[in-house]
Amino acid sequence: MAWALKLPLADEVIESGLVQDFDASLSGIGQELGAGAYSMSDVLALPIFKQEESNLPPESDDKILPFQYVLCAATSPAVKLHDETLTYLNQGQSCEIRMLDNRKMGELPEINGKMVKSIIRVVFHDRRLQYTEHQQLEGWRWNRPGDRILDLDIPMSVGVVDPRANPTQLNTVEFLWDPSKRTSVFIQVHCISTEFTMRKHGGEKGVPFRIQIDTFKENEAGEYTEHLHSASCQIKVFKPKGADRKQKTDREKMEKRAPQEKEKYQHSYETTILTECSPWPEITYVNNSPSPGFNSTHNSFPVNEGNGSPNHQPEPVAQLADVSLFCPFSLPPNKQNLLPTATPQEAQQWLHRNRFSPFCRLFSNFSGADLLKLTREDVIQICGPADGIRLFNALKGRVVRPRLTIYVCQESQQAREQHQKHENGDGSSNTFFVYHAIYLEELTAVELTEKLAQLFSISPRQISQIFKQGPTGIHVLVSDEMIQNFQDEMCFVLDTMKGMSKPVFSKY
């Protein structure tokens, strides 16, 4: 800033003298600095100025972001001015996130009329917990089997297309949406902040989480991998109605503060705007392949991933030779049991054949013995309740219990005489009868005829009718309704009527 002094004519002589004295006092400064010209940039290059410069907001802060995400929950009033906003949520309560198109005219024209994919995550805010996120989430999975950390409330959501929740990623959901249409997604966070704190004493503070949204556009191959925008906000999750109580407590504390103290804190806003951030890195310990339904190509996991040479193309598990590695009997591929001697490669093949492909990468290093050692609770916690129960039953080779089981003995003439003597008290009680089990599923007379013919190695055509011996020795025709009223594990003695191939059931 320059100062201009207007002096009267009478003082011009004094002014000229002062100028001469000032010029003389400056003589030699240039010689001390050297021959180089004086530059302000050299001064700004000093460390103290660099430190201050790094704290200045970048020029890109004023740019308009292509998308804006608004969490419809109030921010806390107990946050200082220069700190990040903090929002309280209730466990399991549906909370709206508005997905807004904030593009300028002509910006990103390649997504006009097209869908984009957004991935919502609930992650840790503290860097210490971020480093151990895998262990923290696995511990939560063991304590809460079958539950998810993050869910979508699909009935309440608007404009959400093809929502997905990977069973191996409990804290992540993804969906497609059209930026040109109104889109609101409702999320539910099922974990609370105190579940990840050290249980040393009561009343401990919960750890903060982050809600992060990453949005991608479709590439030439039809996969949503090109990053467009990412934003996040800080939250804490309380037990039901706990967030309302915490918000009220913070508000009452702020009301008690002096006016000068209140100026140091942020105002509470009805909604939370997610601020721009870096995209979340891909997680390597879970299956990070595209979820089914977002592209038409089927991605199969390779057996070996260690060889990274360009000429080595590992074959997918699904293309391995379909040989009977697990069961010595000639069974259908999906009915073969997994043996403890199966290698990890054979275990991968077994998982594919039994429709457990989504979990192949999760069990990539498991042998047959490793899988068979898993308990029912282990499998449910890893795969979720539905697929976990199905996988456990497949590992144990469990068969479906038949609807009806009956026991049949073919009575011979000698056995009939022995039985008659036993009833009259003339014979010994050491009569030995051998029964055969017949398992029925359809509970029909035709099915019973076929099972009897198969049991006694005759043609079903040789059995014309089946009777059951009733009261006073009458013969009652066996019908579908009669079989449906049989008690489970009933015993019958089978006899053939003379002159006809008509078996007679006598209840023993």
Using only C-alpha atoms, what is the Rg of the chain? 40
Residue 232 φ/ψ, nearest 5 degrees: -155, 165
Tell me how crowded residue 226 is: count the other CB atoms within 10 A of its CB: 15
What is the reported pLDDT for 1?
44
Q: Based on the domain organization, do 231 and 366 belong to the same domain? A: no
Percentage of residues of the chain with pLDDT beyond 90:
21
Q: How confident is residue 325, by pLDDT bands cut at 50, 70 and 90?
A: very low
Q: Based on the domain organization, do 406 and 369 belong to the same domain? A: no
How does pLDDT run across 275-297, given as a tens digit for each residue? 998 888 864 333 334 443 333 33
Q: Based on the domain organization, do 230 and 104 belong to the same domain? A: yes
Task: Give, in degrees to the nearest 5, the angle at Cα 365 between 364 and 370.
Answer: 115
Residue 123 φ/ψ, nearest 5 degrees: -125, 175
Q: Based on the domain organization, do 91 and 130 belong to the same domain? A: yes
Q: Which domain holds residue 468?
A: 2-8+402-418+433-497
Strand 224-238 relative to strand 86-90: parallel, antiparallel, unpaired? parallel
Number of domains in the chain: 3
Q: Based on the domain organization, do 384 and 450 belong to the same domain? A: no
Q: What are the DSSP calls for 46-86, one per residue?
A: SHHHHHHHHTSPPGGGGSPPSEEEEE-SPBPSSSBTTSPPE
CB 76 within 8 A of CB 247: yes
What is the reported pLDDT for 398?
59
What is the reported pLDDT for 508?
53
Indicate the residue among 234, 255, 276 that finishes a domain.
276
- Provide the sign of the torsion angle of the four alpha carbons 421, 423, 424, 426, taken in this order: positive
Give the integer Cα–Cα distance in Å for 285 and 161.
27
What is the reported pLDDT for 142?
81
242-265: average pLDDT: 90
Indicate the residue among 216, 250, 276 that finishes a domain.
276
Indicate the residue among 221, 252, 276 that finishes a domain.
276
Is 339 among the domain residues? no
Q: Which residues contact 211 (CB under 8 A, 6 or more apart)?
A: 71, 97, 120, 121, 122, 187, 232, 233, 235, 274
Mean pLDDT of all residues in the chain?
75
Q: Based on the domain organization, do 237 and 160 belong to the same domain? A: yes
Q: Which range has the worst mean pLDDT, 205-209, 312-316, 336-340?
A: 312-316
Q: How confident is residue 378, by pLDDT bands cut at 50, 70 and 90?
A: confident
CATH number of the CATH domain containing 226:
2.60.40.720
Is 83 among the domain residues? yes
Q: Where are the alpha helices (DSSP H) in 188-270?
A: 242-256, 259-262
Q: Based on the domain organization, do 264 and 413 belong to the same domain? A: no
Q: How far does the chain reach from its first CA to its final CA, in angstroms?
A: 118
Q: Where are the alpha helices (DSSP H) in 115-186?
A: 127-131, 133-143
DSSP-derived 3-state class of residue 233: strand
Is 262 among the domain residues? yes
Give the integer Cα–Cα distance in Å for 268 and 257.
15
Q: Based on the domain organization, do 219 and 363 belong to the same domain? A: no
Q: Based on the domain organization, do 258 and 407 belong to the same domain? A: no
CATH number of the CATH domain containing 487:
3.10.20.90
Q: Based on the domain organization, do 441 and 459 belong to the same domain? A: yes
Is 367 among the domain residues? yes
Is 82 among the domain residues? yes
| pTM for the whole structure | 0.47
Is 284 among the domain residues? no
How does pLDDT run across 22-63, given as a tens digit for each residue? 454 545 444 444 444 444 444 444 444 443 343 343 444 456
Percentage of residues of the chain with pLDDT beyond 70:
68
393-409: average pLDDT: 80
Q: Based on the domain organization, do 192 and 105 belong to the same domain? A: yes
Q: Based on the domain organization, do 185 and 152 belong to the same domain? A: yes
Is 326 among the domain residues? no
Task: Give, in degrees to the nearest 5, the angle at Cα 231 between 229 and 233.
Answer: 175
What is the reported pLDDT for 412?
58
Is 375 among the domain residues? yes
Kindly state the tokens that stand for 472. 């006073």
422-439: average pLDDT: 68
Q: Which of 449, 362, 410, 412 is nearest to 169 (CA)?
A: 362
